[in-house]
Chains A and B, each alone.
Chain A
Amino acid sequence: MSKKPEDIKVILATDCGSTTTKAILIMLQDGEYRLVVRGEAPTTVEAPFEDVTMGVLNAVTEVSELAGRKLVNEDETIMRPTSGTNGTDIYISTSSAGGGLQMMVAGVVRSMTAKSAENAALGAGAIVMDVIASNDKRLAHEQIERIRQLRPDMILLSGGIDGGTVTHVVELAELISAADPKPRLGIGFHLPVIYAGNIDARVNVGEILAEKVDLRIVDNIRPVLEEENLKPAREMIHNLFMEHVMAQAPGYKKLMSWADAPIMPTPGAVGLIMKRVADEEGIQVLGVDIGGATTDVFSVFKNPSYDNHKDENEIDNPKTIFNRTVSANLGMSYSISNVFKETGIANVLRWVPFKMDEVVLRNQVKNKMIRPTTIPQAMETLIFEQALAREALRLAFIQHQNFATTLQGVQKKRTISETFEQADSDTLVNLMGLDILIGSGGVLSHAPKRNQAAMMLLDAFQPQGVTMLAVDSIFMMPQLGVLSTIHPKAATEVFHKDCLIYLGDSISPKGIGKPGQTVGRYKIEMPTGQVIEGELAFGEMKKFPLGIGEKAKLTFDCSRGFDCGEGSGKKIEREIFGGVVGVILDGRGRPLIIPEAEAERVEALTKWLLALEVYPETALKG
Chain B
Amino acid sequence: MGHVYTPGLKVTEYTKVKKRRILPLKGDVVVKVGDKVNPHDVVARTELPGNVDSINATNLLGCDPDDLQYFIKVEMNTPISKGQVIAQNKGIFNTGFFKTQIKMPFDGHIESVSHVTGNVLLRANPIPVEMTAYLEGQVMEVIPNEGVVVEANATFIQGIFGIGGERFGEIAIATPDYNCDLTAELVKEEHRGKIIVCGRRITSEAFKKAIETGVKGIVGGGVDDRDLKEILGEDIGVAITGSEDIATSLIVTEGFGDIPMAERTFELIKKYRGRHASMNGATQIRAGVIRPELVIAQPQPPAGFTEPTEAKVGLEIGSVVRIIRVPYFGVLGEVIDLPPELMVLESGSKARVLRVRFKDGAEAVIPRANVETIET
Check A363 against B325 for contact (C-beta < 8 Å): no
A371-B160 contact, Cβ under 8 Å, with A98-B287, A377-B366: yes
A479 within 8 A of B: no
Contact with B along A269-300 (1 / 0, CB 8 A): 00000000000000000000000010000000
For B121, the chain A residues whose CB sits under 8 A away are: 174, 178
Which of A83-91, A337-345, A347-355 is near enough to bind chain B? A337-345
Instruction: Give Cα distance in the complex from A166 to B65, angstroms.
Output: 13
Contact, CB under 8 Å: A376 / B347: yes
* Contact for B348 among A18, A329, A379, CB less than 8 A: A379
B6: interface (CB < 8 Å): yes
B238–A367 touching, CB < 8 Å: no
Contact status B347-A381, CB under 8 Å: yes
Q: Within the complex, what minimum Cβ distance (angstroms) separates B264 from chain A?
A: 20
Q: Of residues 203 to 239 in B, which have CB atoms within 8 Å of A's CB atoms?
A: 224-226, 228, 235-239
A604, CB-defined interface residue at 8 Å: no
Quick check: A141 and B366 within 8 Å, CB to CB? no
**B53 lies within 8 A of A141 (CB):** yes
B225, A141: Cβ atoms closer than 8 Å: no
Q: Please, what's the 1-or-0 string for A176-209, where 1 marks a CB less than 8 Å from any CB in chain B? A: 0111101000011000000000000000100000
Cβ-defined partner of B26 (8 Å) among A179, A187, A365? A187
Contact with A along B266-295 (1 / 0, CB 8 A): 000000000000000001011110000000
Contact with B along A490-504 (1 / 0, CB 8 A): 000000000000000
Q: Which of B66-74, B111-119, B170-178 forms contacts with chain A?
A: B111-119
Residue pair A170, B116 in contact (C-beta under 8 Å): yes
Question: Across the interface, do B285 and A372 meet the contact criterion of CB distance under 8 Å?
Answer: yes
Indicate which residue in B112, B224, B236, B349 contacts A177 across the interface (CB closer than 8 Å). Answer: B112
* B257 nearest in chain A by CB position: A363
- Please give the distance in Å from A303's CB to the nearest CB on chain B: 36
Cβ-closest chain A residue relative to B160: A370
> Does A106 belong to the interface (CB within 8 Å)?
no
Q: Which residues of A contact B345 (CB under 8 A)?
A: 375-377
- Provide the bound-state CA to CA distance between A188 and B51, in Å: 21
> Contact string, B336-376, partner A, CB cutoff 8 A, digits 1/0?
00000000011111110000000000000011011000000
Chain B residues within an 8 Å CB radius of A174: 54, 112, 114, 117, 119, 121
Tell me, yes or no, whether B324 is within 8 Å of chain A by CB. yes
The yes or no answer to A524 lying at the interface (CB within 8 A) is: no
Q: Which residue on chain B has the smallest CB distance to residue A151?
A: B24
Interface set, chain B 85-104, CB cutoff 8 A to A: none
Nearest-CB residue, chain A, relative to B53: A141
A449 to chain B, nearest CB (A): 6
Whether, in the assembled complex, B301 has its beta carbon less than 8 Å from a beta carbon of chain A, the answer is no
| Nearest B-chain residue to A45, judged by Cβ | B287
Say whether B370 contacts A377, CB under 8 Å: yes
Q: Which residue of B lies closest to A182 (CB)?
A: B25
**Which among A170, A179, A370 is the interface contact of B255 at CB below 8 angstroms?**
A370
Within 8 A of B (CB), among A140-174: 140-141, 144-145, 166-167, 170-171, 174
Distance in angstroms between the alpha carbons of A171 and B118 in the assembled complex: 9
Task: With CB as the reference atom, state the residue of chain A lying closest to B222.
Answer: A363
| Interfacial chain B residues near A111, Cβ < 8 Å | none
| A382 touches B (CB below 8 Å) | yes
Ranked nearest first, the 7 interchain pairs of A and B with the lowest CB-CB distance are A448-B348, A338-B237, A140-B54, A382-B347, A363-B256, A362-B225, A366-B256
Between A and B, 22 residue pairs with Cβ closer than 8 Å are: A140-B52, A141-B53, A170-B117, A171-B114, A171-B119, A187-B26, A188-B26, A204-B116, A329-B237, A329-B238, A334-B238, A360-B257, A362-B225, A364-B326, A367-B329, A369-B238, A370-B239, A377-B366, A377-B367, A378-B347, A382-B348, A446-B349
Known: A335-B238, A367-B329. 14 other contacts (CB 8 A): A46-B288, A99-B286, A174-B114, A175-B54, A340-B235, A342-B237, A359-B225, A363-B255, A365-B225, A374-B324, A376-B345, A379-B346, A381-B347, A382-B347
**Chain A interface residues (CB < 8 Å from chain B):** 18-19, 43, 45-46, 97-99, 140-141, 144-145, 166-167, 170-171, 174-175, 177-180, 182, 187-188, 204, 293, 329, 334-335, 337-338, 340-342, 359-360, 362-379, 381-382, 446, 448-449
